[in-house]
Chains A and B, each alone.
Chain A
Amino acid sequence: MSGCGAVVGGVSLDNVDISTQAVIQGIVSKDGQPASVGYVRLHDKSDEFVAEVPISKQGEFRFFTVAGDWNVVTLIPGGNSRIVAHAELGKILDLEIAVS
């Protein structure tokens, strides 16, 4: 069983049937380089927190969720960002998040 907790972005999609999931993933960057320390939070459309993952050393993150609009909140030392993402069932949404 996987924990309730966060899995660093980039987790393998082997053996995962994404036809029943909406995947939001991406890379966080600062000053044109992948951020190596930080967290990405997923909030629902009412801005209720749903999940949080630490980004990988390469700035990657991933969420498995349901279709709909989501707020993706990024926190890194000295900066943060917030964007709206539209996830669709059976599809992988790739984001590039630049934090200033």
Chain B
Amino acid sequence: MSVTLTIDGRGVTVRSGTTIWEAARGAGIAIPTLCHDPGLEPVGVCRMCAVEVEGARVMAASCVRLAEPGMVVRTASEKIERCRAMLTELLMSEQPDVSAKERTTADDELHALARRYGVRPRLRRGAARPRDDSSPVIEVDHQACILCDRCIRACNDVQHNDVIGRTGKGYRARIAFDLDQGMGDSTCVSCGECVAACPTGALVNKPISAPLRPRAELAAIDTVCPYCGVGCALTYHVDEAANRVVFAEGRESPGSRGRLCVKGRYGFDYVSHPHRLTRPLIRIDYPKRALSSEVESSRRERRKPGGIVDYDEVMPAFREASWDEALDLVASRLREIRDRSGSGALAGFGSAKCSNEEAYLFQKLVRAVFGTNNVDHCTRLCHASSVAALLQMIGSGAVTTTYGDVENSDVVLITGSNTTSNHPVAATFFKDAARRGTKLIVVDPRHSGIADHAWRFCRIRSGTDVAFYNGLMRVIIEEGLTDADYIAEHTTGFEEIERAVKAYTPERVSGICGVPAALLREVAIAYGEARAAITFWGMGMSQHVHGTDNCRCIISLALMTGNVGRPGTGLHPLRGQNNVQGASDAGLIPMSYPGYQPVTSEAARARFEAAWDAKLDPQTGLTSVEIIEAARDGVVKGMYMLGENPFLSEPNVNEVRKGLAALEFLVVQDIFLTETAEFADVVLPATSALEKTGTYTNTDRRVQIGRPALAPPGEARLDWEIICEISTRMGYPMQYDSASEIFDEVVSLTDSHSGLRHDNLGATGKLYPCPNPEESDGTVVMFGDGFPTGDGRARFVAAEHSGADELPDAEYPFILVTGRVLEHWHTGVMTRRSRALSALVPEAFAEVHPEDCERLALEEDGFVRVRSRRGEVTLRVRKSVDTQPGSVFIPFHFREAAANVLTTDKLDPDGKIPEFKFCAVRLETADL
């Protein structure tokens, strides 16, 4: 249905339901506004956009009034313009002398109107309104607030953080946070969406790493956020002379739709931290040992409660060297080990933080030059089990649909995912869906933020996922809610599941999982009856010794109800790192070449031997935890570590320490001197994501280009160049002119990527497979017509509940669950060097249920010693009911109290992923 109306004398035809404001904009008529933003629901309160509608007694706010057939609208008569000038004057009269926005980014929308209308207020402002400086990242000036409510809608409707409101009435009205507290004292998560929405100086960013400056004086670099797998599109505004990012803004994209979280918006300054490595370093301190007190021993007395490494303590162990000297040393030592002890004595850890091009070259170096498949990266520690289950059952490890596809779902299952902390922007879309009435089922032992938005929250006991999902499937089968046609057409092995889940009655499952049987039934029926159900999961599923089984269960659940291959259905393991999908795609895993072509496949090997002109190892390589064990056992002697920090990320740190210390030769290529680098013989200064061109593949399979915003510091070099140098010096010349050229080589060997080039990825990237990138954004939903499994069918694989490896007992009565917090990233190397992020969460803590605190006499902010069979750490107590009684949650970002000192290195047999989510510990009060 379309509507034709007349705007300023011109006939305009628009879709019915279009507002006058939108209709005018479409016709090239800009109606000024303050409270309206096309990304927000219109409220029509500033009245700046009021227009005359012929025949109406009063003027209409064009942002809310819908276009009607035959309407005659005037948008800029003299009367209207006089009214707008008056509104501007009224608002300007209360403004502070200097607008914080004009003083910083110089894009205050009210001031722009004041200039346009030549307004000089005839009245002085009244009683001063307060400022609120309590947030570390946002400055609030109520004096400059024009009560347009944009921040309120940004907070509540876009990010669903539900913090900002408007208290008071009339002239006393002002924006408020939670219980009318300071912004910094509220539950604000510092996503900054409110600042992005604010038209005046009421909400402005505080400077992060450089003084804020007028937008027009800065270079705008369109790139991708370097943090999580959501891969938000953003723009860095860069002071080129100072070589600093001044501020970051979300950028419109079909994926992230302009949204950002605290890390993306405020966490970019790590790249400018004085700790950046600027020259190659060669170790002079032998015999090798850990250098900083925290790395040397977790027991040792600490000098301060938290914080990053003290360079004075570690740098004396190294001397600066030229690139030539350092590279020659690396090449000669690695070659020497290979020649002496065989290819299997070498190994490499790449990184999911690096680009596809770098991941590809790194695994090519290890495979073609080192001669081994001993190459892995932190995917092993996050979704290895998910990928193992997905490959086994549906023949592909990537997501079957995007996170944004949730808008087409009527039921969403989110399990083992602390989405609001770990994938904050993806979480906003789940919260959108919940707001619209989509049933959100959250299954998790922890009450994480997303559970607040759940239709039903199933708080299962840690490690009982298999039992829970088997129970769910039993109810679905019993209730006749399976999709028989789908099962018949697209799957095999359903009988196996039917048999396996029989024993999982809701009552029995309730006993195992601690979830009421009625709730289990209700949730099963909701999922079973869904028109379209989608499943998102995270590390709560994968990081178990039964992680692959956990994932098998949710895959079976989706298959038996036909919830794959249609809009709003699918399987989506939320990828942790910005390029964990891409690094795996590019072959940075020991079992396959790029594109998941198995190293054990003769045909695949022949393809790569031909392409690379090298003899390749037919044996599957060691996985990351296995490599560390092999190093400890003296089997692996030389390692190349690109951007990984296994000292903090691998389980059972005390064993990792032994492994790293035992290496004959370790080269670490990184942007900071990490805990792992303390064991290095050579340290090579690398470039950050903000300093180079490369592609990153997000959790959705969206391949996006990252562009350089800054010049690298000192002599730091591009990572792919360093790989090429080492390769060439080891006798295998690698020569590329650009990252784009490397990408072309990746694509030539990775069928799923065919057709993609740097120059056709566009501003917001493409979802692979994307056969026609010039025309299309790529493929959202996959496997509508079968699976890449040979017979085209998915295969059901049953699982039995087995429980965790190390159960609590009298000596170690608590369950330790590790994870992350919103403000920090992985091993903290980046985020703890961000002013804002480290100010928000400065140090390590353990989250303990208040009942346990009371029983153990633990005080909020006091210290607790957490001990496992493998080690102990001491850290602050945070009381929280989010953690179940009998459990303790510790984020693993913090070197001063590394959670992985405690964790077990027992592995899932298929995914080879360690059980980070479960081990037995005891808690004791401690002083520090």
Say whether A and B bind each other: no
